[in-house]
Structure formats: structure tokens, C-alpha cells
């Protein structure tokens, strides 16, 4: 095993190390998980719920430690410290929803197309699910897929990002407290080659990460003819209409764009504001943006933390530089600050941007708010839809009806009306699809999410006479 150093985002220095798994390590872990999986599946959803309820208690007892580890990995702020509680919500939600999802797949009735045939449904889990997860929200994005896969009856092999391994190590201390679970849920550490090794072993893959890596993952899965579910990047727009309440709109846009330093797949990354209110909107937004505090002196304080992955700061700086070189104006922020080794960027409002700039086309993944004025709603819709991505979009208008009318014309899987950042509201509702490059495969949210890990079989019983090849009327007399 090779050793990989792990950087602390607050100091820029290595303060942790992981042993990168070899191909043999991955194969061995995969074989052990496969060997344990049949018993896990045979428990039925009720049996698995009983085990998962014990895990929920173990997570509850360590929720604060999990939050600390997440904060160490990512650089802190409120979003990290609540990760233990979010994990509890995830497991607890599936304790209620998994039995219902299984029940919805039951079928036992005489066939409507061949009335003498009884049709029964059976669901069978994919034995081994591989989960490959990114460094932003490292715990939540690993468990969004792993938890429903476990409830479905699969074993799970997780490959977290090498950038943020600490919280996964802490989480697995809770997994080991539940021996039946520990037999079917394991992880391997390492970089992209370890991710590829996981693809080489698994029966289906859930990947969350960037478009270029997602493409490599999809190609490796295609080579093995296994399904893959990709949750990729975004360039999510927000439209603010002339009738919008300025205070509401600026507050929602600021939070949607800079929460977690903008390192959220569904961050607001482009803002289109009606020309009539553009200047007033910018003035109010800049005033609020300047009040956002860094957490450099206290990981629990402030509003935004450092870049979790230091090199991400260079990508963000490149987008700002490109925009300025092409005529954009920085209204506030704009400079990467190095504080005690951590790399920070204050909320950065840019005006005079165009779609020729990287900051309006490529995922920035930083606390930037590029704003463009539009003249009529058709233009705003055209600009918002002028993207290769389509994860989420927001509309803030004078009233809900106006916002909904515009939202229905936008191409994205989640449309937030009269606010931004509402993804959590649909967690337990129904699955939605990503548009364009933002994703591929079945939804990861709602009951459909669990269905990704199940193959459905039909058992067809002939309860009448068998058909005679010389007198075959069973499909109707179409001769
Ligand atoms: P990456 O695509 O760089 O990495 C994602 C994971 O893939 C990491 O575990 C990484 O390992 C691993 N990996 C790297 N190369 C390979 C390879 N060749 N084969 C298999 N696995 C590989 O994404 P980031 O970690 O930079 O995460 C940020 C991205 O994630 C953003 O684009 C963001 O939009 C997206 N994202 C999407 C979400 C969604 O739900 N749509 C949610 C959150 C983030 P390692 O890091 O160790 O190199």
C-alpha cells in the first residue's frame, strides 16, 4: 500500500495520511463483501431495517465526532458540523421509506394480456454496488447512494475522495459497532486508480463528481457492461424578474451562490436580472456580500470557509481573470486570500459578464456571483437554458405564479421558486432527472433511488392448459 498525505485545508499542510489500496486489496475486499451479501439480502427489508436502526443509534452517539471530522476534512462552517445529524436523517428516512418502496414493487395477479397466466414479481439486489464520491460534502455524497443500496440488500464498497478521507474513517468506527453491517459495507482509500479498481469489481456504480471523471467512469462501466449512475456538475442559473422583492432576491441569491464557499453542485453559478432593477439589485447584493465573514479565525465561526481542495482556488481565480480580461467588472471580492495557509475567497460579485466567458459556461465551484442584465423574460429563459448542464435552476419573481410560469420553461431537474437552494425539500419525495451533462442514470432521490439497486424478475405460471404448436391461439386469433 502506498501512503498518501492529506492536506488540512485550513493550514495548507499535511496533517494526516492514508494507505492507498492496491488492486489486490480492492479485489479482496470485494470478494469478502460478495460472500456476505446473500445473507444480508436474505434477511429481507425488515431484517435489514432492524440492523440499520442499530447503526442509526451508533451514528447518533458519535454525531458530534462525525461533524468534527467532516469539518477537519472540508475546513469547517455550519454545513460540516451538522453532517452527523444529516446522516441520521438519511438512515432514519430510509427506515420508513424502504419497506414502502419494496411493497410498491410487489405484484401478484393474473395477466391482463394472457388471462390464464399468473404474474408474480420478485426483486433481486445487485450483489456489489461501488460508490465513488467527491471531496465536497464528502460524507453526505457517499451516503446518499450507499444507504439506499444497503437497504436494498446490496453490499457496498465505497471509494471516497483522497482529499477528504477523515470523516469516512470516523463513520466506519460506527459501522464496526454493528457487525452484520460491517460485513457488507466497507471502503477503500486512494486516488483515481483505486476508483477504477472498484469499477472492475462492482456490479453497478454510483459516481458523484466532475464531468471529465464521470466520462471516464462511464467508459469503464461500458467496457464491463455494468450500469452506472452519474451525478455530475452544474452551472445553475437564477432568474430575478423586475417585480421581485429586492431584499428577498439578494438574500436568496447570496446564500445560494456562496454557501459552503460555493462548493456545492447546485450552487447558483449565474444570475440573470431584469435590466430595470439590475443596478439596485447589484448595489444591495454587494452590500450584503461584504458582510459575509470568513471562518479563518474559528472553524465554527464565520459564514464561509477555505477552499476544501486548495487547487480549486486556481480554477476559480482563472474564471475571474478570464471574465475581467473580457470586460467584466469585479464589484466586490475577487482576490484569493492566503490566511495561515488556507486559501479563501470572499463573495465575488461580477457584472458586465457575457456567455463568451468561462465563468458563464464552465462550473466554477467557488463563491462567485456573475450577473447579467436581460430585457425580457424570453431572453432570460433563453440565456438560462444556454448551457450544457441542467442540475437545478431558480426563479425569484413578484409572486409564485409568475415564478412558476418561468420555472416550467427551464431545463433542469430541480427548479426552485421564490428561493434558491431547496434541494433538501425533495429528498424523500420523488426522483428527478438531471439534464445535459449534469447527470445520467436513474434518480438518486426518492423511492426510485432504492430501485436502482434492484433487478426485477417476473415469475409467470401457466394455470391453464399449455398451448399446442399446431393449434396456438394463446396470443389471440390474428391469423
Ligand atoms: P472528481 O470527478 O475529481 O472526483 C470524484 C471521485 O472520483 C473522487 O473520489 C476521485 O478520487 C475519483 N476519481 C478520480 N479519477 C477517477 C477515475 N479515473 N476513475 C474513477 N474514479 C476516479 O470530482 P471532485 O472530487 O473534484 O468533486 C467535485 C465535482 O463533483 C464537481 O464537479 C461537482 O459539481 C460534482 N458534484 C456533483 C454532485 C451532484 O449530485 N450532481 C454533488 C456534488 C458534487 P480522488 O479525489 O481521490 O482523485
Distance (angstroms) between ligand 1 centre and the Cα of 179 equals 30
Element (H, E) at 376: none
Q: For residue 188, how far is the Cα from the chain centroid?
A: 20
CA distance 128 to 205: 9
| Residue 94, SS3 per DSSP | helix
Take atom 17 of ligand 1 and give the residue whose Cα is closest.
192
- The C-alpha angle with vertex 264 and arms to 59 and 283, in degrees rounded to 5, equals 130
Centroid of ligand 1 to alpha carbon of 225 (angstroms): 21
**pLDDT tens track for 310-337:** 999 999 999 999 999 999 999 999 999 9
Q: Residue ranges of the alpha helices (H) in 202-340?
A: 211-224, 246-258, 275-290, 312-325
Pocket residue to mutate for ligand 1, from 160, 210, 232, 261, most atoms within 8 A of Cβ: 210
Q: How far is the CA of 154 from the centre of ligand 1 (A)?
A: 23
- d(CA 198, CA 201) in angstroms, rounded, equals 5
Ligand 1 binding pocket includes 135 (Cβ within 6 Å): yes
25-36: per-residue pLDDT in tens?
A: 999 999 999 999
The mean pLDDT value for 299-317 works out to 96
Cβ of 439 less than 6 Å from ligand 1: yes
Q: Which atom of ligand 1 is nearest to the CA of 309?
A: 26
Hey, whose CA ends up nearest to atom 23 of ligand 1? 209
pLDDT band at 77 (very low <50, low <70, confident <90, very high): confident
Mean pLDDT of 166-186: 98
Cα dihedral: 402, 404, 407, 412 (round 10): 170
Would you say the CB of residue 181 lies under 6 angstroms from ligand 1?
no
| pLDDT tens digits, 273-285 | 999 999 999 999 9
**C-alpha to C-alpha distances, 341 to 8, 296, 318, 346, nearest whole angstrom:** 9, 10, 20, 16
SS3 content of the chain, % helix, strand, coil (to 5): 45, 20, 35
Q: Is 208 in the pocket of ligand 1 (CB under 6 A)?
A: yes
Which residues fall within 8 angstroms of residue 56, CB to CB, at 6 or more apart? 88, 91, 92, 95
The atom of ligand 1 lying closest to the CA of 144 is: 40
Strand 348-351 versus strand 329-332 pairing type: antiparallel
Whether 144 lines ligand 1, by a CB cut-off of 6 Å, is no
Tell me how far apart the alpha carbons of residues 219 and 197 are, in angstroms, rounded to a whole number: 14
Asked about 231 being catalytic, the answer comes back as yes
Positive or negative CA dihedral for 49, 51, 57, 62? negative
Catalytic residue among 49, 77, 265, 332: 265
Upper half-sphere CA count for residue 218 (Cβ side, 13 Å): 16
Check residue 58 and give left, alpha or beta (phi > 0: left; psi -120 to 50: alpha): alpha
For the cut 70, the answer to whether the pLDDT of residue 476 exceeds it is no
Q: Is the CB of 363 under 6 A from ligand 1?
A: yes
Task: Check if the beta carbon of residue 207 is closer than 8 Å to that of residue 142.
Answer: no
| Residue 77 known to be catalytic | no
428 CB contacts (<8 Å, ≥6 apart)? Answer: 93, 97, 445, 446
How does DSSP classify residue 423?
G
Which is the closest atom of ligand 1 to the Cα of 198? 20
- pLDDT tens for residues 95-131? 999 999 999 999 999 999 999 999 999 999 999 999 9
**Would you place residue 155 in the very low, low, confident or very high pLDDT band (cuts 50, 70, 90)?**
very high
Average pLDDT value for residue range 249-272 = 98
- Is any atom of ligand 1 closer than 6 Å to the C-beta of 191? yes
Catalytic residue among 41, 180, 231, 363: 231
Residue with cell 411493497: 103
Q: How far is the CA of 209 from the centre of ligand 1 (A)?
A: 3
With a cut of 90, say whether residue 478 has pLDDT above it. no
Chain center to CA of 410: 20
Spatial CA neighbour of 90 closest among 439, 455, 413, 450: 450
**Are 332 and 347 in contact, with CB atoms under 8 Å apart?**
yes
Per-residue HEC secondary structure of 433-446 comes to CCCHHHEECCCCCC
Which residue's CA is minimally distant from atom 12 of ligand 1? 192
Q: Is 221 in the pocket of ligand 1 (CB under 6 A)?
A: no
φ, ψ (nearest 5 deg) of residue 154: -85, 160
Q: Which residue has the CA at smallest separation from atom 42 of ligand 1?
A: 265
Residue closest via CA to ligand 1's atom 21 equals 195
CA 213 to ligand 1 center in whole angstroms: 6
Write down the H helix ranges in 131-245.
138-152, 166-175, 179-182, 192-201, 211-224
Q: State the cell numbers at 255.
A: 446564500
State whether the beta carbon of 347 lies less than 6 angstroms from ligand 1: no
Best mutation site among 6, 134, 140, 366 for ligand 1 pocket (most ligand atoms within 8 Å of CB): 134
Q: Does the C-beta of 423 come closer than 6 Å to ligand 1?
A: no
- The pLDDT tens digits of the residues spanning 261-272 come to 999 999 999 999
The per-residue DSSP string of 297-312 comes to T-TTSSSB---SSTTH
Of the candidates 203, 197, 214, the one whose C-alpha atom is nearest the C-alpha of residue 159 is 197
Question: Which of 238, 208, 348 has the alpha carbon at shortest distance from 286?
Answer: 348
Angle at 247 between CA 282 and CA 386, to 5 degrees: 55
Query: pLDDT tens digit string along 435-473?
Result: 999 999 889 988 889 999 999 999 999 999 998 998 776
Instruction: Characterize the bridge pairing of strands 439-440 and 228-231.
Output: antiparallel
Indicate which residue's Cα is closest to atom 13 of ligand 1: 192
d(CA 36, CA 121): 25
Q: How far apart are CA 16 and CA 166, in angstroms?
A: 8
- Is the per-residue pLDDT at 159 higher than 50? yes
Contact 129, 153 (CB under 8 A): no
Inform me whether the pLDDT recorded for 82 exceeds 70: yes
Determine if ligand 1 sits within 6 Å of the CB of residue 216.
yes
Q: Which of 164, 166, 213 to mutate to test the pocket of ligand 1 (most atoms within 8 A of CB)?
A: 213
Write out pLDDT tens, residues 376-411: 999 999 999 999 999 999 999 999 999 999 999 999
Q: What is the pLDDT of residue 292?
A: 98
Sequential DSSP letters for 61-77: HTHHHHHHHHHHHH--S
How far apart are the C-alpha atoms of 174 and 5, rounded to whole Å?
24
Amino acid at each position: 500500500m502506498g501512503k498518501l498525505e492529506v492536506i488540512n485545508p485550513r493550514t495548507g499542510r499535511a496533517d494526516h495520511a492514508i494507505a492507498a489500496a492496491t488492486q489486490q486489496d480492492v479485489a479482496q475486499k470485494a470478494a469478502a463483501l460478495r460472500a456476505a451479501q446473500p445473507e444480508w439480502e436474505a434477511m429481507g427489508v425488515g431484517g435489514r431495517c432492524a440492523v440499520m436502526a442499530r447503526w442509526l443509534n451508533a451514528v447518533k452517539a458519535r454525531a458530534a465526532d462525525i461533524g468534527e471530522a467532516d469539518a477537519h476534512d472540508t475546513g469547517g462552517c455550519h454545513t460540516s458540523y451538522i453532517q452527523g445529524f444529516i446522516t441520521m436523517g438519511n438512515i432514519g428516512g430510509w427506515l420508513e421509506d424502504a419497506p414502502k418502496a419494496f411493497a410498491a414493487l410487489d405484484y401478484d395477479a393474473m395477466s391482463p394480456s394472457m388471462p390464464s397466466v399468473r404474474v408474480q414479481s420478485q426483486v433481486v439486489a445487485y450483489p456489489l454496488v461501488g460508490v465513488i464520491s467527491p471531496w465536497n460534502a464528502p460524507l453526505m455524497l457517499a451516503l446518499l447512494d450507499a444507504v439506499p443500496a444497503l437497504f436494498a440488500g446490496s453490499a457496498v464498497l465505497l471509494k471516497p475522495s483522497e482529499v477528504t478521507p477523515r470523516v469516512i474513517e470516523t463513520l466506519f468506527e460506527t459501522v464496526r459497532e454493528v457487525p452484520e453491517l460491517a460485513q457488507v459495507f466497507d471502503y477503500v482509500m486512494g486516488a483515481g486508480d483505486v476508483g477504477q479498481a472498484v469499477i472492475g469489481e462492482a456490479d453497478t456504480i454510483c459516481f458523484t463528481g466532475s464531468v471529465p471523471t464521470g466520462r471516464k467512469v462511464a467508459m469503464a462501466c461500458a467496457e464491463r457492461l455494468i450500469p452506472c449512475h452519474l451525478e455530475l456538475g452544474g452551472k445553475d442559473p437564477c432568474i430575478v424578474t423586475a417585480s421581485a422583492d429586492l431584499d428577498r432576491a439578494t438574500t436568496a441569491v447570496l446564500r445560494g451562490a456562496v454557501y459552503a464557499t460555493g462548493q456545492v453542485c447546485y450552487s447558483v453559478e449565474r444570475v440573470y436580472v431584469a435590466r430595470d432593477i439590475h443596478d439596485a439589485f447589484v448595489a444591495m447584493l454587494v452590500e450584503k456580500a461584504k458582510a459575509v465573514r470568513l471562518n479563518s479565525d474559528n472553524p465554527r465561526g464565520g459564514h464561509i470557509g477555505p477552499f476544501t481542495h486548495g487547487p480549486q482556488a486556481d480554477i476559480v481565480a482563472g474564471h475571474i481573470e478570464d471574465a475581467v480580461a473580457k470586460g467584466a467588472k469585479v464589484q466586490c471580492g475577487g482576490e484569493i486570500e492566503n490566511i495561515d495557509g488556507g486559501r479563501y475567497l470572499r463573495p465575488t460579485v461580477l457584472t458586465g459578464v457575457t456567455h463568451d466567458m468561462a465563468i458563464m459556461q464552465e462550473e466554477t465551484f467557488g463563491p462567485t456571483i456573475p450577473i447579467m442584465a436581460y430585457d425580457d423574460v424570453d431572453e432570460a429563459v433563453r440565456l438560462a437554458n444556454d448551457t450544457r448542464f441542467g442540475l437545478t435552476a431558480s426563479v425569484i419573481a413578484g409572486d409564485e405564479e409568475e415564478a412558476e410560469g418561468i420555472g416550467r420553461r427551464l431545463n433542469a431537474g430541480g427548479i426552485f421558486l421564490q428561493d434558491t437552494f431547496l434541494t433538501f425539500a425533495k429528498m424523500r419525495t420523488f426522483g428527478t432527472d438531471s439534464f445535459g451533462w449534469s447527470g445520467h442514470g436513474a434518480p438518486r432521490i426518492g423511492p426510485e433511488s432504492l430501485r436502482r439497486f434492484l433487478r426485477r424478475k417476473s415469475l409467470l405460471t401457466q394455470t391453464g392448459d399449455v398451448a399446442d404448436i399446431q393449434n396456438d391461439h394463446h396470443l389471440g386469433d390474428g391469423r
